[in-house]
C-alpha cells in the first residue's frame, strides 16, 4: 500500500508557512520553496545513505552542501544540481563510495529531481 505524506500550507499578507507532522516551517527570508526542495534532497539522501551503510561502513559525521542552478526559461526548473558530501572519520572510504552509488539509485527525492536535471555528487574525506 502506498505511503501518504501530507502537508498543509498557509499564505496571507502576514505569514507564509507549511505544517508537517505538527511543526510549522516558515517561508521567509532565505528559505523559500527551492531551499526546502534542496533540503529535502539532502535529508532523503542522508537517511537512504544511513540505511545503505548499516553494518558495512561507519563514519563520525556527514555534512552535505547542495547547490541548485535554475534555468532562465519558464518554468524555471532546476538545470543543474551539485551535492558535496564531507565525511569525517570514515571506517572504509571505498565501501562508503559504493554505498553512495546505491543511495543515488534508491533515494526517492534524488531520483525525482534527476528526472529534470543532472545531479553531480562529490565526496570529500576529512
Q: Residue 26: in which H helix or E strand, if any? A: strand 23-26
Q: How many domains does the chain have?
A: 1
11 falls within a domain: no
Range of the domain at 62: 32-125
pTM of the full structure:
0.87
117 falls within a domain: yes
Higher confidence at residue 112 or residue 31? 112
pLDDT tens-digit series, residues 19-65: 888 888 888 777 788 888 999 999 999 999 999 999 999 999 999 99
pLDDT averaged over every residue in the chain = 93
What grid cell was written down for 10?
498557509
74 falls within a domain: yes
8 Å CB contact between 117 and 78: yes
Looking up residue 64, the CATH number of its domain turns out to be: 3.30.300.20
What grid cell was written down for 72?
532562465
43 falls within a domain: yes
What grid cell was written down for 125?
574525506
Inform me whether the pLDDT recorded for 12 exceeds 90: no
14 falls within a domain: no
Over residues 62-75, the mean pLDDT reads 94
Query: CA 42, CA 51: separation in Å to the nearest integer?
Result: 14
Sheet holding 8-11, edge to edge: 8-11, 16-20, 23-26
4 falls within a domain: no
99 falls within a domain: yes
- Bridge partners of 86, per DSSP, are 63, 124
pLDDT band at 117 (very low <50, low <70, confident <90, very high): very high
Q: Is 1 exposed, middle or buried (0-12, 13-18, 19+ CB in 10 A)?
A: exposed
Q: Up-side HSE of residue 23: CA atoms within 13 Å toward CB?
A: 2
Given this model, what pLDDT does residue 3 score? 83
Amino acid at each position: 500500500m502506498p505511503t501518504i505524506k501530507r502537508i498543509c500550507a498557509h499564505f496571507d499578507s502576514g505569514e507564509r508557512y507549511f505544517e508537517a507532522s505538527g511543526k510549522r516551517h516558515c517561508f521567509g527570508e532565505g528559505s523559500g520553496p527551492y531551499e526546502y526542495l534542496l533540503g529535502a534532497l539532502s535529508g532523503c539522501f542522508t537517511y537512504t545513505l544511513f540505511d545503505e551503510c548499516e553494518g558495512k561502513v561507519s563514519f563520525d559525521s556527514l555534512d552535505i552542501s547542495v547547490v541548485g542552478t535554475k534555468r532562465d526559461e519558464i518554468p524555471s526548473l532546476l538545470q543543474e544540481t551539485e551535492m558535496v558530501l564531507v565525511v569525517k572519520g570514515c571506517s572504509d572510504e571505498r565501501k562508503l563510495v559504493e554505498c553512495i552509488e546505491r543511495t543515488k539509485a534508491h533515494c526517492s527525492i534524488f531520483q525525482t529531481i534527476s528526472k529534470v536535471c543532472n545531479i553531480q555528487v562529490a565526496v570529500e574525506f576529512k
